[in-house]
Structure 1
């Protein structure tokens, strides 16, 4: 876990949270010591816990649906904080405003919410699902963050950045981020059972490190995309060539280690680096690239270990000055 992650040194006190927040308390159980405990196998309980944490630690009000993927906050924070470290290593002028493009922001716009509250960044989020856009806008307005966060409709599932090109701000350091669906349709069939309609629940039959250790309920669009994450991120890399003068730093989360080996050849001529996120038994990767050959990707401390997989750097790296 990133050392700046609030949950790295401040583990949630479930008993205190349940005592304070009635909705969470409703889904918790009492142990033999009379303390409230969280049932991580209950999507309703995990959702209520995440709502309580967002309010308690970030003063954010979000209501989660039991039929959608509930974001794990510590994982999301590690992604944002790793981006922040990389930006910090490259900015000479610390007063430069920072703007993010969140690809597939989802109904809960969780990255823009956390990034705007914690790091004071502005965001443009993209989303293909109209219902998610409508709900996301309600959340943004309820939290009075409409001056920092906007959502645009990507009407074409065949392209990734097309709807944001005209909205990318000038005179700012701009990065992109994405948490794409990890799986292909066949992988969803193998790993998940249909809960009802377009909602799926994990089978709990796998034992690899990549698999969740709690119940995961999500819609098909949250779980899968054509060709899985390899094809999606590969297309993102291809499209990024046309935005090299508008976006300083491109990034994406990757859920499977096997995907990294397939994606790295696409970046062999581009300045890039892969960072690991390890939280408990769950491992994720952040793939980053920039078309500025002077862009620096620093080693980043995660817990007690500096973690990196592979990078391509140029010699005599200098910090990027954004004007």
Structure 2
């Protein structure tokens, strides 16, 4: 994990359970260590609550049934690496407190990236999503915790990314996105089965029925449920990840004067080659691929800018000093 990731060591379940007593029933001993069953959706949600309550001083956080429950340590790594990108752009200096404005595209119902970025680095955030339920839940989290530096914006057109979200003359220092990486429901189901196998769980019909009942999620008919949940727009789109990110890159051209760095997570290494070709065709000035490791899992994101090094320095002087 990133050197600044507070979760690079084992979870302190005693402290976390004290912050959120609802976590305690899910804590068990395995191989002489305290842990939880990470295939249990309820356990994962209570663990997230505990981390947000204990480490980020939140008082209220909840999810609608069946919505994506993100693993916080991995999400935090993305934030830290984006911070490094801004440090480097700013001549290896940390931008002054409150100077960075970030845009989270498709923030989901959890608001996790804006919470982490705001609490770790005092970034201001715009949280956008096309799903009104997600926006409503994010606003409830903002209101319940008085997160004054985070605002929500509803995207009304599924074909748009930055259009209708970034306002005229508004400047954004960094954008981020965790895109839907499956191309269809069937593809998502295959990914779910692999996830269950990695968690040493058998994908039985009885397990599926139990999870479906627990989440009350009648929109999904997959053979197995993800322990982290997820609605259709969160998990898949026509054409999959490559098509989704290609459209984002092409639309970013029209906002190159208003945005310093664009970025997006990429789930599969083999998707980097076609996306790098799209970046080249779009005329970006600089692109980067950043690899992140969490245990046995490797993830990555791409970042791109249309600004020359000199333009980046000028931006930094005006925005971060």
- Alignment TM class, shorter chain as reference: 0.7 to 0.9
Task: Let me know the Cα RMSD of the aligned residues.
Answer: 2.7
Partner of 1:279: 294
Equivalent pairs, count: 289
User: Larger deviation: 266-275 or 113-122?
Assistant: 266-275
Q: 1:217 to 1:29 in 2, by over 3 A?
A: same
Once superposed, which parts of structure 1, at least 4 consecutive aligned residues long, lie more than 4 Å away?
30-33, 193-196, 200-204, 317-320
The alpha-carbon deviation at position 151 of structure 1 amounts to 0.7
Distance 1:295 1:98 in 2: 19
**Structure-2 separation of matches of 1:102 and 1:117:** 15
Where does residue 201 of structure 2 map in the other structure?
Answer: none
In structure 2, relative to structure 1, the CA distance for the partners of 1:59 and 1:129 (3 Å cut) is same
2:102 counterpart of 1:100: yes
Range moving further from structure 2, 122-131 or 58-67: 58-67
Q: Which residue does 2:179 correspond to in 1?
A: 180
Q: Is the strand fraction higher in 1 or 2?
A: 1
Aligned twin of 1:155: 156
Bigger CA drift: 195-204 or 157-166? 195-204
* Structure 1 residue 136, shift from structure 2 partner: 0.6
Aligned equivalent of 1:294: 309
Q: Give deviations 1:226-283, integer Å, cap 9, x for gaps.
A: 2111111101100010000000000001111121122111112421010011111211
Contact 1:67–1:199 under 8 Å retained in 2:
no
Following the alignment from structure 2 to structure 1, what is the Cα–Cα distance between the partners of residues 269 and 24?
37
Higher helix share: 2
Do residues 109 (structure 1) and 111 (structure 2) align? yes
Task: Report the more deviating stretch, 181-190 or 259-268.
Answer: 181-190
Change (3 A) 1:226 1:201: same
Choose from 209, 219, 242 the match for 1:198: 219
Unaligned runs of 5+ in 2: 194-207
Task: State yes or no: 1:73 paired with 2:72.
Answer: yes
Alignment of 1:1-323 (within 5 A): 1-8=1-8, 10-29=9-28, 37-60=35-58, 61-65=60-64, 67-91=66-90, 94-95=95-96, 97-145=99-147, 147-166=148-167, 169-170=170-171, 174-185=173-184, 186-192=186-192, 195=212, 196-199=217-220, 215-268=227-280, 269-270=283-284, 271-294=286-309, 321-323=316-318
